[in-house]
């Protein structure tokens, strides 16, 4: 009889975690380059002592287990900002970023220039070009970034473009296995070695927004909330059942 | 339930976003104003089952893990230093810059501030000053009785002095411009002024129309670079995101309520 309670408990803890994932997606609905997480559940069959030789054999009971979260790696909508240092990546590539902990990857194309003239992310980590960090000279202006990531500038009072580097675009054989580190950064993790990506294109003056589908997240959230309540009701009925059984069985006629 | 706190970070972030947008809209008509945007990042993840972890002794690895994020944080409110459009005013001392440079202003305490707002006037001693009465650097004094004040693209201020031939004009000074490696790193101090910071890099004084400092245009002012339409759509996005985060809190609250109401 306790099985129903335990199955209910399994469902509730899974739903709790699903809501956590939804809450994180909704919190990041306006985060540039954010990729939504979805939860995946699986049935977990438990085999208690059972007897299959009778007609109408004992049924197995199945619990629910949260199997994992998988990332929706689809491209997010692209917003025009007209800022020359905003880049959106059209394709599956990532920008390579140099951090304290080593090389990391990001889809957040909100770039800036620091006091040393280096091209950096909004958090101040240098963005890597094909030959190391990209550094601008003090008199550079009119920065242009071509679709293949080549950065050209006009230097001083000159009239011709000078090349300052090429953004390093990398892709992974299994981007799903990359590790989300937060701060819009991904570590390569088990995703394989970064490979140069020649298919992806850079769009200057655009920003890739979060790919969270807010309507889907809201409906998923309602589903979770309703399922949680209905499981709670079911468990309550089970408890009532037990209570009645205990009371009535123990009711010794006098 | 972590969802409650996660949604709270979302609400805080969107509230800040609305603040930044409202400041942009409030400064729609401010000369030389540069718009700001709120930029967000996801918080660190709780790796409940790490992707790529060993799933069995046979060496199979988990194709996906369980990563639960902790919400969102504001990483900064960077300023977009793009060129604003110019509007003609016809005033002799209304100057605008097309390019990278800033006007350098000497403050009463001897420090310098930098601005894109070229609404200048003359004070009682003939110095060219900004709206607060602080002189533009290098200090230029316009002689009394001078007429026909012109400022060319290089910033040279020339006037016609009484008594001289009408065709000759005298250069009384040159308005300098200052550049920064990272204009976005300047610290706004109000009154349309900025000061340099370790992030902006040291100010580099120079001459207009050279080395990308930008040209000075007489008789026009630089409008704010705020784009109303994109600000309005950002406002809607921020407001809806705020509401959605509030709904998550309600849902988490309902779930906890039904959990506590289970056994009475």
pLDDT in tens, A148-185: 999 998 887 777 888 999 999 999 988 888 888 889 99
A247, exposed or middle or buried, with CB in 10 Å at 0-12, 13-18, 19+?
Answer: exposed
Considering only CB atoms, which chain B residues are within 8 Å of A220?
Answer: none
If DSSP states are collapsed to H, E and C, what string results for chain B?
CCHHHHHHHHHHHHHHHHHHHHHHHHCCCCCCCCCECCEEEECCEEEEECCCCECCCCCCECCCCEEEECCEEEEECCECCCCCCEEECCCCCEEEEECCCEEEEECCCCCEEEECCCECEECCCCEEECCCCCEECCCCECCCCCEEEEECCCCEEEEECCCCCCCCCEEEEECCEEECCCHHHCEEEECCEEECCCCCCCCEEECCCCCCCCEEEECEEECCCCCHHHHHHHHHHHHHHHHHHHHHHHHHHHHHHHHHCCCC
| Residue B173 shares a structural domain with residue B96 | yes
Mean pLDDT of A119-145: 89
Helix axes B228-260, B3-26, angle to 10 degrees: 160
Q: Is the pLDDT of residue A47 over 70?
A: no
Q: Is A191 left (phi over 0), alpha (psi -120 to 50) or beta?
A: alpha
Q: Is the pLDDT of residue B197 over 70?
A: yes
Q: Is the pLDDT of residue B165 over 70?
A: no
| Residue B173 shares a structural domain with residue B67 | no
| Residue B111 shares a structural domain with residue B207 | yes
Under 8 Å CB pairs connecting chains A and B tally to 234
CB contact at 8 A, A62 and A45: yes
Mean pLDDT of B5-18: 94
Considering only CB atoms, which chain A residues are within 8 Å of B4?
Answer: 23
Contact state of B184 with A113 under an 8 Å Cβ cutoff: yes
Q: Is the pLDDT of residue B230 over 80?
A: yes
Mean pLDDT of B51-65: 78
Which pLDDT belongs to residue A145?
A: 92
Helix axes A2-27, B228-260, angle to 10 degrees: 160
Contact state of B42 with A214 under an 8 Å Cβ cutoff: no
Which pLDDT belongs to residue B15?
A: 94
Q: Is the pLDDT of residue B102 over 80?
A: yes
Q: What is the separation of C-alpha A65 from the centre of its chain, rounded to a whole number of angstroms?
A: 20
ipTM over 0.85: no
Q: Is the pLDDT of residue A225 over 80?
A: yes
B10, exposed or middle or buried, with CB in 10 Å at 0-12, 13-18, 19+?
Answer: buried
| Residue B76 shares a structural domain with residue B90 | no
Q: Is the pLDDT of residue B250 over 90?
A: yes
Q: How many domains does chain B have?
A: 2
CA distance to partner chain A, nearest, from residue B258 (Å) = 6
8-state DSSP, A177: G
Q: Is the pLDDT of residue A1 over 60?
A: no
Domain that holds residue B143: 86-222
Q: Is A166 left (phi over 0), alpha (psi -120 to 50) or beta?
A: beta
Which pLDDT belongs to residue A50?
A: 65
| Residue B167 shares a structural domain with residue B203 | yes
Contact state of B64 with A84 under an 8 Å Cβ cutoff: no
pLDDT in tens, B111-149: 999 999 999 998 888 899 998 899 998 888 888 888 888
Residue of A nearest to B212 (CA): A156
CB contact at 8 A, B15 and B103: no
Query: Which of A80, A176, A214 has the CB atom closest to B64's CB atom?
Result: A176
Structure token digits, residue A55: 């007609």
| Residue B159 shares a structural domain with residue B60 | no
Mean pLDDT of A132-148: 87
Task: Considering only CA atoms, give the Rg of chain B.
Answer: 27
| CA atoms of B13 and B24, how far apart (whole Å) | 17
Question: What per-residue string of b and e applies to A214-228 under the rule 16 or more CB within 10 Å gives b?
Answer: beebbebbeebbebb
Contact state of A154 with B212 under an 8 Å Cβ cutoff: yes
| Residue B242 shares a structural domain with residue B167 | no
Structure token digits, residue A243: 């209570």
Q: Is the pLDDT of residue B166 over 70?
A: no
Structure token digits, residue A223: 């589903």
Query: Which has the closest alpha carbon to B177: B96, B56, B107?
Result: B96
Contact state of B10 with A29 under an 8 Å Cβ cutoff: yes
| CA atoms of A194 and A196, how far apart (whole Å) | 7
CA distance to partner chain B, nearest, from residue A129 (Å) = 19
Out of A47-56, A117-126, A194-203, pick the least confident: A47-56
Mean pLDDT of A24-36: 92
Report the mean per-residue pLDDT for chain B: 89
Mean pLDDT of A106-120: 90
Contact state of B82 with A16 under an 8 Å Cβ cutoff: no
Mean pLDDT of A212-239: 91
Strand A150-155 and strand B66-69: the pairing is unpaired
């Amino acid at each position: 009889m306790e099985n129903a309670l335990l199955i209910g408990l399994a469902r509730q803890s899974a739903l709790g975690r699903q809501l956590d994932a939804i809450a994180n997606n909704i919190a990041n609905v306006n985060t540039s380059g954010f990729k939504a997480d979805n939860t995946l559940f699986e049935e977990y069959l438990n085999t208690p002592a059972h007897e299959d030789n009778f007609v109408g054999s004992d049924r197995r009971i199945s619990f629910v287990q949260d199997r994992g979260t998988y990332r929706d790696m689809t491209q997010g909508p692209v917003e025009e900002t007209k800022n020359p240092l905003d880049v959106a990546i059209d394709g599956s590539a990532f920008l390579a970023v140099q951090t304290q902990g080593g090389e990391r990857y990001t889809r957040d194309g909100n770039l800036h220039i620091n006091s040393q003239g280096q091209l950096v992310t909004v958090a101040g980590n240098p963005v890597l070009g094909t030959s190391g960090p990209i550094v601008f000279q003090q008199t550079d202006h009119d920065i242009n970034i071509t679709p293949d990531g080549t950065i050209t500038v006009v230097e001083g009072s000159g009239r011709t473009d000078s090349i300052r580097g090429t953004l390093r675009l990398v892709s992974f054989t299994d981007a799903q296995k990359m590790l989300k580190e937060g701060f819009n950064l991904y570590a390569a993790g088990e995703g394989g070695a970064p490979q140069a990506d020649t298919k992806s294109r850079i769009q200057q003056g655009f920003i890739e927004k979060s790919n969270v589908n807010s309507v889907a997240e809201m409906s998923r959230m309602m589903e979770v909330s309703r399922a949680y309540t209905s499981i709670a009701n079911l468990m309550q009925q089970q408890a009532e059942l037990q209570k009645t059984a205990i009371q009535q069985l123990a009711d010794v006629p006098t | 339930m972590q969802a409650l706190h996660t949604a709270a970070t979302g609400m805080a972030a969107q509230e800040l976003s609305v603040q930044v947008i409202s400041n942009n809209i409030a400064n729609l008509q401010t000369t030389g104003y540069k718009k700001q945007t709120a930029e967000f990042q996801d918080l660190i993840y709780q790796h409940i089952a790490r992707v790529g972890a060993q799933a069995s002794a046979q060496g199979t690895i988990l194709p996906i893990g369980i990563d639960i994020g902790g919400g969102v944080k504001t990483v900064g409110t960077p300023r977009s230093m793009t060129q604003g459009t110019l509007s003609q005013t016809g005033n002799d001392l209304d100057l605008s810059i097309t390019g990278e440079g800033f006007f350098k202003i000497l403050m009463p305490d001897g420090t310098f501030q930098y601005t894109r707002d070229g609404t200048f006037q003359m004070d009682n001693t003939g110095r060219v000053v900004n709206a607060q009465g602080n002189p533009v650097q290098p200090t230029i004094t316009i002689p009394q009785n001078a007429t026909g004040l012109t400022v060319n693209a290089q910033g040279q201020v020339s006037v016609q002095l009484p008594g001289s031939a009408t065709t000759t004009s005298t250069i009384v000074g040159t308005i300098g411009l200052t550049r920064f490696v990272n204009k976005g790193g300047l610290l706004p101090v109000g009154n349309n002024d900025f000061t340099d910071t370790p992030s902006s890099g040291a100010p580099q004084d120079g001459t207009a129309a050279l080395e990308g400092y930008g040209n000075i245009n007489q008789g026009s002012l630089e409008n704010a670079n705020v784009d109303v339409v994109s600000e309005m759509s950002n406002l809607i996005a921020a407001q809806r995101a705020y509401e959605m985060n509030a709904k998550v809190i309600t849902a988490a609250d309902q779930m906890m309520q039904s959990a506590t109401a289970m056994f009475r």
